Amino acid sequence: MEKFLWGSATAAYQCEGAWNVDGKGNSIWDDFCHSEANVKGITGDVSCDFYHHYKEDIRMMAECGQTTYRFSISWSRILPKEDHVVNEAGFKFYDDVLAECKKYNIVPNVTLVHYDLPDYIGNKGGWLYDKVADEFAYYASVVFKHFGDRIPLYVTINEPTHNASCAYLTGNYPPNEKNVNHYAKCIYNMVMCNAKAIREFRKLDLNAKIGLVHASCSADILVDSEEYRVAQRNCEWFINGCVLDPAIKGEFDKDFVLKVKESNIDLSFVNEDDLAIIKENTIDFLGQNAYCRNVVKPYTTGETKVTVNNSGKGPAREGKIIKGWFESDFNDSMKLNKWGREIYPKCIYNCLIRRKKAYGDIPIYITECGHGAYDVADENGYVEDDDRIAFLNDFIYWILKAKEEGCNVKGFYVWSTMDLYSWINGYEKRYGLVRVDYNDPELPRIPKKSYYWYKEFIKEHSL
């Protein structure tokens, strides 16, 4: 019987550091973080320096009992310039990471792009660039041919809808825009990137699987009425179905497409040849990230607006208004974290049950689940993060319950392996099982209470 995988996750820009080392080119995040648009002035130039600490970090995963590690490859490390010349030093780094995983029998789960497009793609429009899917497919083919089935689990793109929302609705990730039409084109191009990369993957007949990692859990309503159910359906389309339907079923829901057209969103970029490629190239598994649910109600008034709390200064609410579709609702009895995000562990159970109903028995990995907090260390650097332990324990309870009820859940990854750069939240918002002391130039690693809890939990729940 195939064993359930227990592990943790990171992403290239957030943990590697070494931003200009060994032939690496710039990514859009390098450009953004070094620009005046980055008002906080905080960068991922060094972060926790996984590039030079990977042996220590992977050893600590193994000592925790973890059997899988999810990480991403920096596109800019492999193809630093638009001339498509491979940077062999970039490959060597990831070869070494994979060798270390093999040494400890840790299964690698590897994402091709986790927000960090190369600058030469960003300069041509990023996810809006008409040839981004062809560029991505080329990059993917280079990676597949080099690593082959040394990587058993490949992921094309991390969190398409969240990436698109931050970049083109909230406007807090590069290119920092607020434009619904650009959001739509971004989503479409990501769907095409996924399909064209899978087409390259299938050519090689590898002993490996390929999937996509999705951010949003399902949508909930607080009032059971037809009007609210329509808002719930609209939200499901907007944050889930727009990516999951083509990725898993090979097509966009026809009613969803009608709704998009009724909203006067430009779809001139869609063509029949693309739709045929989508139809023929679907994923083997789904990565589902688990943080919170989406509570919605019928749209009332106002322009499209997405609000996030990146300050962490009190429980200001996250929320959305999507004109003509839905808007956020709030259950005031629910606990919030410091960044205004509702803590509702059962959301992942509801999500998994609905995924099964919509998409059958597709294998699902919970590719991220974690709790951001202002960790407070004692004089020895030790963090007693009981709130993180409670969060993870409660989410895992509902995940295993869904598994018991027939959902095809294959693994679980804590976000994150160690403390790392949390995008525009910088370094104050901590997620790691392992603390990184950023005040010490050696960047020492100190396991938190949650690390030891997870170690015991894995021992007790090896399935």
Cβ atoms of 441 and 49 closer than 8 Å: no
Q: How much of the chain exceeds pLDDT 70, in percent?
A: 98
Mean pLDDT over residues 256-272, rounded? Answer: 96
Per-residue confidence (pLDDT) for residue 324, from 0 to 100: 97
Which amino acid is it at 413?
A: Y
- Distance CA(325)–CA(302), nearest Å, equals 11
Other CB atoms within 10 Å distance of the CB of residue 50: 26
Q: What percent helix, strand, coil does the chain show, rounded to 5?
A: 40, 15, 40
Q: Say whether pLDDT at 76 is over 70.
A: yes
Cβ-count burial 271-286 (b if 16+ within 10 Å, e if not): eeebbebbeebbbbbb
Residue predicted with more confidence, 332 or 192: 192
Cβ atoms of 208 and 152 closer than 8 Å: yes
- Distance CA(45)–CA(356), nearest Å, equals 41
Which residue in 159, 318, 327, 342 is the catalytic one? 159
- Distance CA(36)–CA(164), nearest Å, equals 22
pLDDT digits (tens, 9 = 90+) for 423-439: 989 999 999 999 999 99
pLDDT digits (tens, 9 = 90+) for 106-123: 999 999 999 999 999 999
Per-residue confidence (pLDDT) for residue 1, from 0 to 100: 60
Per-residue confidence (pLDDT) for residue 317, from 0 to 100: 78
Per-residue confidence (pLDDT) for residue 220, from 0 to 100: 96
Mean pLDDT over residues 185-212, rounded? Answer: 98
Which candidate, 366, 356, 380, 358, places its Cα nearest to that of 435?
380
Tokens 């040839």 map to which residue? Answer: 131
Mean pLDDT over residues 26-32, rounded? Answer: 98
pLDDT digits (tens, 9 = 90+) for 369-417: 999 999 999 999 999 999 999 999 999 999 999 999 999 999 999 999 9
Mean pLDDT over residues 282-294, rounded? Answer: 97
Other CB atoms within 10 Å distance of the CB of residue 1: 4
Q: Say whether pLDDT at 286 is over 90.
A: yes
C-alpha 229, offset from chain centre: 27
Which amino acid is it at 18?
A: A
Which amino acid is it at 44?
A: G
Mean pLDDT over residues 72-78, rounded? Answer: 98
Cβ atoms of 9 and 415 closer than 8 Å: yes
Q: Which helix (H) or strand (E) holds 216?
A: none
Per-residue confidence (pLDDT) for residue 340, from 0 to 100: 85
* CB proximity list for 260: less than 8 A, separation 6 or greater: 184, 267
Q: Say whether pLDDT at 102 is over 90.
A: yes
Given its phi and psi angles, is residue 295 left (phi above 0), alpha (psi -120 to 50 degrees) or beta? Answer: beta
- Distance CA(157)–CA(111), nearest Å, equals 6
Per-residue confidence (pLDDT) for residue 438, from 0 to 100: 97
Tokens 């015991």 map to which residue? Answer: 456
Secondary structure (DSSP) of 293-341: -EEEE---SS--EEE---S-SS-PPPEEEETTTEEE---TTS-B-TTS-
Per-residue confidence (pLDDT) for residue 308, from 0 to 100: 85
Q: Say whether pLDDT at 131 is over 70.
A: yes
pLDDT confidence tier of residue 96, bands split at 50, 70 and 90: very high
Q: Say whether pLDDT at 243 is over 70.
A: yes
Cβ atoms of 204 and 219 closer than 8 Å: no
Q: Is 100 a catalytic residue?
A: no
Name the phi and psi angles at 450, rounded to 5.
-65, -30
Q: Mean pLDDT over all residues of the chain?
A: 96
pLDDT digits (tens, 9 = 90+) for 146-165: 999 999 999 999 999 999 99
pLDDT confidence tier of residue 53, bands split at 50, 70 and 90: very high
Reported residue count of the chain is 463
pLDDT digits (tens, 9 = 90+) for 308-352: 877 666 656 789 999 999 999 999 899 988 888 899 999 999 999
Per-residue confidence (pLDDT) for residue 304, from 0 to 100: 96
pLDDT confidence tier of residue 2, bands split at 50, 70 and 90: confident
Which candidate, 402, 429, 426, places its Cα nearest to that of 415?
429
Cβ atoms of 173 and 163 closer than 8 Å: yes
pLDDT confidence tier of residue 39, bands split at 50, 70 and 90: confident
CA distances from 337 to 314, 317, 387, 421 (A): 8, 10, 10, 19
- Distance CA(11)–CA(308), nearest Å, equals 21
Cβ atoms of 403 and 409 closer than 8 Å: yes
Q: Is 56 a catalytic residue?
A: no
- Distance CA(14)–CA(313), nearest Å, equals 22
